[in-house]
């Protein structure tokens, strides 16, 4: 991702940043951790409080082209409502979207998912951070 030109350098944050944010007083309420890895990887191990987000290839292409709304790609009603609050709520209810993928496959479908999500969340007014590096300190 760093070489793709889509994610800005300041959007790429390491596990130390996430760890300190989760330990801060309001941190967990101000973060929405979206895990874009495969369902089996999420089931094996994930960061507490993260939610799995899988977008089928055809929906991802339509999302990238701007043909569908971001919220319409999210099946879970609770997650959709939380994303909407993070994007459209007042300043006290907004927070940062943390996108997580498998660092071993940045060029595949998952890397594309993170790039498209990052771009669409930012264009909707969201704050986005992309977690890079190892996540073993959370598991």
CATH of the domain at 117: 3.40.250.10
Structural domain count of the chain: 1
Q: Percentage of the chain surpassing pLDDT 70? A: 83
pTM here is 0.83
pLDDT at 12: 87
Does the residue 1 lie in any domain?
no
**Looking at the domain assignment, is residue 138 inside a domain?**
no
Whether residue 4 lies inside any domain: the answer is no
Cα–Cα distance measured from residue 102 to residue 110, given in angstroms and rounded to the nearest whole number: 7
Comparing 3 with 128, which gets the higher pLDDT? 128
Average pLDDT, the chain: 83
pLDDT digits (tens, 9 = 90+) for 54-82: 889 999 999 999 999 999 999 899 999 99
16-47 pLDDT, tens per residue? 999 999 999 888 889 999 999 888 989 898 99
Q: CB under 8 Å, gap of 24 or more: what pairs does 76-83 form?
A: 76/51, 79/51, 79/53, 82/32, 83/32
Q: Is the pLDDT of residue 84 over 60?
A: yes
Higher pLDDT, 120 or 138: 120
Distance in angstroms (rounded) separating the CA atoms of residues 104 and 69: 29
**Domain range for 34:** 11-131
């Amino acid at each position: 991702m760093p070489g793709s030109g889509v994610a800005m350098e300041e959007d790429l944050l390491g596990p130390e940043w996430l760890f300190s944010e989760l330990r801060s007083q309001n941190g967990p309420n101000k973060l929405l951790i979206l895990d874009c890895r495969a369902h089996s990887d999420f089931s094996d191990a994930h960061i507490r409080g993260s939610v799995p987000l899988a977008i089928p290839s055809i929906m991802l292409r339509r999302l990238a082209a701007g043909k569908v709304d971001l919220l319409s790609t999210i099946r879970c009603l609770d997650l959709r409502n939380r994303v909407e609050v993070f994007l459209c709520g007042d300043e006290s209810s907004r927070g940062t979207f943390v996108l997580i993928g498998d660092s071993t496959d940045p060029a595949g479908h998952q890397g594309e998912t993170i790039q498209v999500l990052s771009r669409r969340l930012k264009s909707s007014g969201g704050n986005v951070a992309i977690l890079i590096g190892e996540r073993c300190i959370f598991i």
